[in-house]
Chain A
Amino acid sequence: MKQKDSYKFSFFTLIIILIFIFFFNISLGSVSIPLKEIFASIFGYSSSNESWHYIIVNFRVPKGITAVLAGSGLSISGLLMQTLFRNPLAGPFVLGISSGASLGVAVLILGASILGGSFILLGHNQIAIAIAASLGSFMVLAFVMLLAKRVKNTMAILIIGLMFGSFTAAIISILAYFSSAENLQQYLFWSFGSLGNLSWNEILIFFIIYTIGIILVIPNIKSLNSLLLGENYAKSMGMNLQKSRNSILLTTSILTGVITAFSGPIAFIGLAVPHITKLVFNTSNHKILIPAVAIFGAIIMLISDTIAQLPNSEYVLPINAITSLFGAPVVIWLLMRKQKLS
C-alpha cells in the first residue's frame, strides 16, 4: 500500500511539473510577451495587444498541445515496442516504423510531381498525409513482424529494422531525384519535424486519432505485463499471443503514424523516454509505466521545443535536431550500461 501512495505522489509532482513547463513553453518565443498578457489570452480575456493575443491563441497554444500529444504518444509507442520485442533498444524510430511513415509521405508528396493529377492536391492535404504516414508505418511494422516470426534473435530484428530505414531512405532519394523543387522542399521541411503550423482543426483531428490510439493501449496492459516473462510464459498464462501481438502493433502504428503525419519523424523520444521513466519509477508494471511514460514524454518534448525555438531570437531549430542531441547520448549510455551488466 505504501508503494501505491508513493506512486500517487510521483504522479502528482509530475503533473505539476508538466503544467508548469507547458506555461513556460507558451510564455517563451521569438516575440517576448508579458506573463500577465499570456494568462489573459489563454483564459479568454481580451488582450491589450491584438497581435500578442493572436500569437498565443493561434500559434503557441496549438504548438504546446502538439508537443504534449507527440511526446506522450511516441513515448508510449516506444514502451510498447520495448516490451513486445523484449529489447531495450527497440522504439518506433529504430525499428523503422518512422521510416515507413516517411516513405508513405514521400510517396504522396514526391510522387505527386511524378504522377501528377489529383495527387498534387492530396499532397497538400494534412489528412491525406496522415493516412499515408499511418499506412507506411503499418506496412513496415507488419513486415518487421513477419520477419520476427522467422528470426528468433531480437538483435537481428533490430538490425532488420535499421536496414529497412536505409532501404526507405534510398527509395526516398530516388523519388526526390525525380520530383520538383517545390515538392522536395515541402517534404524536406516535413522531415525536419515541426510541432508548429497546425491549425485548430488539424489539432482536433490529431487529438481524435491520438485518443483512439490511447484507448487501444489500455486493453493491452495485461498482456504487456505477461510479456515481461517472455512469450512462452505469457502463452502459458493464457495470453493469446497472436492477437495481443497484432493489437500492440496496430496501436503502435496508429500512434506513430498520426504523430509522424502531423509533426514529422521525431527521433529518439520513443526510445529514450521509457528508460528515463523506468529509472525514476523503478517498476515494470505497465499500469504505472504507461501513464508515467506519457507524462515524461510530454515534459521532455516541451523542454525540447522550448530549446528549439531559441527564446527571444528569430530562429527556430528543427525539433529533430534537439531530440537527437538529447537522445543519442542516452542510447550510448544505455549500451555502456548493458555492457557492464553482461
Chain B
Amino acid sequence: MKLTNEIIKIKDLSIGYRTKKDKLILANSLNLSLFQGELVCLIGKNGIGKSTLLRTITKIQNELSGEILIQNKNLHHYKPEELAKKISLVLTERIPQNNLTVYELIALGRQPYTNWIGTLSNFDKEKINSAIKQTGLQDLIHNRCDELSDGQMQRVMICRALSQDTDIIILDEPTAHLDIQNKIEMFKLLENLAHNLKKTILISTHEIQFALEIADILWLMTENGILQGTPEKLIKNNQINQLFDNNYVYFDKNSMHFKVK
C-alpha cells in the first residue's frame, strides 16, 4: 500500500538554542516529511541534535526559524489541548517519584479528552483498556509504578501515549537502559503500532542495526543536515557510512552489518 497521507511536514527548519546574545545552531534548513503509518528512526551520533529536533517538533522547545506543520497546520497555531490530541510523547526523563498505579498512569493519557476535573467516561475507559491490551500490560495494571522494571516502565509509558489516542507518537530513545530482549520486543511493538494501528511513529535511537531492519524511513542526522530515505536507499548509495566520521567503522553491504576495519 502506498502511503500518501502526510502528517508532519518540516520546512526550512533551523534548530538549536538561543542565549541572550548568541544562538547555537545545531541544524539548518531541514526539510522533512512524515506519512501516516510510518515508523521513522532518527539516528546520529551523540550531541548531534537528535533530542533537540524531537523537542522542537513536540513544542517543548522553540525553533530558531522555519516551520513545522502538523496535518497542514502550523505547530504554534494549535492550542495545547488540540496538540495533545495529535502528538503524544515518550521521553527519556524519569518521571518523579509518586504513588500512581500502572492503570492510573495510563489513564492520565486521557487528560486532553476528560472534563475540567478529569472524570473518565466509558469511552475513555475503553480507550485505556484497548491500549493496555495492545501493549500486553493486563497483568500489571494494579501494580505501583515504582515497583516496575525499566522494561515494564517503558512499556507503560508507551501504553500511556497510546491511550492518548494521537496519530503521532514521538519517542526519545525508547530502548535506552533496556536489555536485548526488551529492545527487540520494544521495536516489534512499535512496528506493530505503526503498521497495524496506522500510527505515525518517530523515534530517536542508537540501535542502528534494529533501525535498519525495522524502520520504514531513516533520518540520518549529520553535521550537514538530515539524510532522509529508506534503509535500503541509504545503504545502496553509501550514505549510511556518514553516520560515523572516522575511518575505523564501515558498513558491510554483504552482511548488512557495521564492521570495524
What is the interface of chain A, defined by CB distance below 8 A to chain B?
Answer: 86, 88, 218-219, 221-222, 225-226, 228-230, 232-233, 235-240, 278, 282-285, 287, 341
Asked if residues A225 and B118 are in contact (CB atoms below 8 Å), the reply is: yes
- Among B83, B87, B89, B99, the residue within 8 A (CB) of A233 is B89
Instruction: Report A-chain residues with C-beta under 8 Å of the C-beta of B93.
Output: 230, 232
CA A230 to CA B81, docked complex, whole Å: 17
Chain B neighbourhood of A237, CB < 8 A: 84, 88, 108-109, 111-112, 164
Q: Is the CB of B95 within 8 A of A229?
A: yes
Pick from A219, A235, A278 the residue with the most CB of B within 10 Å: A235
Known: A237-B109, A238-B84, A341-B97. 15 other contacts (CB 8 A): A88-B97, A219-B117, A221-B118, A222-B118, A228-B95, A230-B95, A230-B96, A232-B60, A237-B84, A237-B111, A238-B80, A238-B112, A240-B80, A282-B99, A284-B98
* Min CB gap A226→B, angstroms: 6
Contact B89 A232 (CB under 8 A): yes
Interface check B91, CB cutoff 8 A: yes
Contact B99 A284 (CB under 8 A): yes
> Once bound together, how far apart are the Cα atoms of A287 and B164, in whole Å?
21
Complex partner residue of B80 from A218, A233, A239, A287, CB under 8 angstroms: A239
Asked if A221 and B104 make an inter-chain contact with CB atoms under 8 angstroms apart, the answer reads no
Checking B84, B89, B96, B114 against A228 with a beta-carbon cut-off of 8 angstroms, the contacting residue is B96
B89 CB contacts on chain A under 8 angstroms:
232-233, 236
Is B116 on the interface with A (CB-CB < 8 A)? yes
27 A-B residue pairings within 8 Å (CB atoms):
A88-B97, A218-B117, A219-B117, A222-B116, A226-B108, A228-B95, A228-B100, A229-B96, A230-B91, A230-B95, A230-B96, A232-B60, A233-B89, A233-B91, A235-B60, A235-B80, A236-B87, A237-B84, A237-B112, A238-B81, A238-B82, A238-B83, A238-B84, A239-B111, A283-B99, A284-B104, A341-B97
Measured in the bound complex, the distance between the Cα atoms of B93 and A235 in whole Å is: 14
Given A238-B83, A238-B84, are A229 and B60 also a contact pair (CB < 8 Å)?
no
Q: Counting CB contacts under 8 A, is B28 at the interface?
A: no
A238 to B93, CA, bound (A): 18
* Alpha-carbon gap, A56 to B25, bound state (A): 71
Q: A225-B108, A225-B118, A284-B104 in contact; A236/B84 too (CB < 8 A)?
A: yes
Question: Would you give the shortest CB distance from B75 to chain A, in whole angstroms?
Answer: 13
The answer to whether B99 and A236 touch across the interface, beta carbons within 8 angstroms, is: no
Q: CA of A331 to CA of B87 in the docked complex: distance in angstroms? A: 40
CB distance from B146 to the nearest CB of A (A): 9
List of A residues within 8 angstroms of B235 by Cβ: none
Q: Which residue of B lies closest to A243 (CB)?
A: B80
Whether B178 is near chain A, meaning CB under 8 Å from some CB there, is no
Query: With A and B bound together, what is the CA distance between A218 and B164 in angstroms?
Result: 23
Closest to B81 in A: A238
Specify which of B85, B96, B98, B117 is in contact with A287 (CB 8 Å cutoff).
Answer: B117
Interface string of B93-135 (1 = CB under 8 A from A): 1011111100011001101101011100000000000000000
Q: Say how far A229's CB is from chain B's closest CB, in angstroms.
A: 5
Q: A284 to chain B: which residues have CB within 8 Å?
A: 98-100, 104
User: Hey, which chain A residues are within 8 Å of B117, CB to CB?
Assistant: 218-219, 221-222, 287
B230 at the interface (CB under 8 A from A): no
Q: B53-93 interface mask toward A, CB cutoff 8 Å, 1 = contact, 0 = none? A: 00000111000000000000000000011111101110101
Return the chain A residue nearest B145 by Cβ. Answer: A284
Q: B118 contacts A233, CB within 8 Å?
A: no
Closest CB-CB distance, B127 to chain A, in whole Å? 14
Chain A residues, Cβ within 8 Å of B99: 278, 282-284
- Nearest Cβ in chain A — how far from B179, in angstroms? 23
Contact A86 B96 (CB under 8 A): yes
CA distance A287 to B104 in the complex (A): 12
**How far apart sit A222 and B113, CA to CA, in the bound complex (Å)?**
12
Q: Which residues of B contact A221 (CB under 8 A)?
A: 117-118
Q: Which residues of A contact B118 (CB under 8 A)?
A: 221-222, 225, 287
CB within 8 Å of A: which of B116-164?
A: 116-118, 164
Shortest distance from the beta carbon of B207 to any chain A beta carbon, whole Å: 23
Contacts of A238 in B (CB 8 A): 80-85, 111-112
Can you name the residue of chain B whose Cβ is closest to the Cβ of A282? Answer: B99
Docked Cα-Cα span, A225 to B119, in Å, equals: 12
Task: Specify which chain A residues have a CB less than 8 angstroms from the CB of B104 in the assembled complex.
Answer: 283-285
Interchain CB contact under 8 A, A233 and B95:
yes
* Nearest A residue (CB) for B84: A238
Q: Which residues of B lie under 8 Å from residue A235 when comparing CB positions?
A: 59-60, 80
